[in-house]
Amino acid sequence: MKHGQKHLLLILIITLAAVIMVGCSVPDNIAGKIPFLGAGDKEVDSKQVQDTDQKDKQLADQKNKAKETNSEEKGKSGGEDSAEKKGGEKTAAETGIKKEPASGENKGPKLIINLPEQMTTAHNKLKISGVTAGGCTVYVNGEALRVRSDGSFNTEVTLKPGDNEVQVVSIDKNGNSTLVNRRINFKVRQPSLKVFAPQESTSASVEVSGHTDPGCTVYLNNTKVKADSKGSFSGSVELMHKGDNIINVVSVNDYGVSTRASKVIRGIPPRLEVAAPEMVTDDKVTISGVTDTNSSVVVLVGSDEVQVNNNNGTFSVQLDLEPGINDFTVMAINIFGTTEKPVTVLYDDYNDYLK
């Protein structure tokens, strides 16, 4: 029996040596049967394993912390750079100070013009003046200007109705340029209009005149006239009937914007003034007078009509008389009516009777 136990112990020792050589742990059920492998040995192996695991975990934690620290520093650095850049842009926008270009960047010449960034005008011509560095070439909307030795320049541009963009560029000898943009609103106003016409007329053709903006086209009813360089205009209109005649006047500028006005002209019969003696001793009498140039003059002698020549508004006619009282009617006639004047002449033939 003792001899068998010795053989068993020898086998266990050999097995244990083999296990240790290949790095394996001894199973608990076997270790418990070996006298020199007690609980103390098991605790030592377990502690060594725990120490190794803890060291591995600490090493992994340190690597993770190092990575997180690097990421935070990069993020913080990028954020500070972005904030610093953003802050710089905000300050430049608020203060209006142009940031100086870095070394090697294009730095244009100074350029100052007399126009605000935005403006509204009622004129289609805009005068532009300014100053730049000496020796520069200036372009306004692509057109080259003559720049004086002191850097000053001026020109005039034509605006279209509505918004207009004016670009001014100054280029120095090195090719560096400065660009200034201005927005100009050309608000087309209505042309001014004043009309002069008589309140009444004995003539069918009436002269109407007035004043508007230079170059405007003016319509007087159906008559078309052109305003001169000072804005003056005139034209004839026809009165169609007796009484009130409405004359419509329209002034139109080159942009199609118009102004309207109207006048009322009253068509009236001709004026008439007659001169004749009240009494004569001869058998003839001369009747004269004035009327309008466009009127015809007729004298009624009883039932007879005598046509009288109207010489630029004056007339004269010699008529035969009967002894005693002679009644005549002088009439001036135009398209608006007739004006009549009665004339009575006493022919005293007493001297003839004495003869």
Q: How much is the pLDDT for 310?
A: 87
d(CA 325, CA 101): 114
Helix H or strand E encompassing 143: strand 143-145
Q: Cβ distance 200 to 267 under 8 Å?
A: yes
Q: Is the dihedral of CA 301, 305, 306, 309 positive or negative?
A: positive
Q: What are phi and psi of 186, to 5 degrees?
A: -95, 105
Q: Which residue has the higher pLDDT, 122 or 139?
A: 139
**Proportion of the chain above pLDDT 90, given as a percent:** 62
- Average model confidence (pLDDT) for the chain? 81
Reference 151, options 98, 106, 109, 108; nearest CA is 109
Question: What is the homologous superfamily of the domain 193-267 according to CATH?
Answer: Immunoglobulins (2.60.40.10)
Reference 154, options 176, 128, 120; nearest CA is 128
Q: What is the mean pLDDT of residues 65-78?
A: 53
pLDDT in tens, 196-210: 999 999 999 999 999
- CATH number for region 111-186: 2.60.40.10
Is the pLDDT at 332 greater than 60? The verdict is yes
Do the first three CATH levels of 193-267 and 272-354 match, i.e. the same topology? yes
Do strands 296-301 and 304-308 pair parallel, antiparallel, or not at all (unpaired)?
antiparallel
Q: How much is the pLDDT for 51?
A: 56
Does the global pTM surpass 0.85? no
Q: Which residue has the higher pLDDT, 54 or 203?
A: 203
Q: What are phi and psi of 25, to 5 degrees?
A: -90, 155
Q: How would CATH label the architecture of 272-354?
A: Sandwich (2.60)
Sequence-distant (6+) residues with CB within 8 A of 112 are 130, 131, 132
Q: What is the mean pLDDT of residues 235-259?
A: 94
d(CA 164, CA 185): 6
Domain boundaries, the chain: 2-50, 111-186, 193-267, 272-354
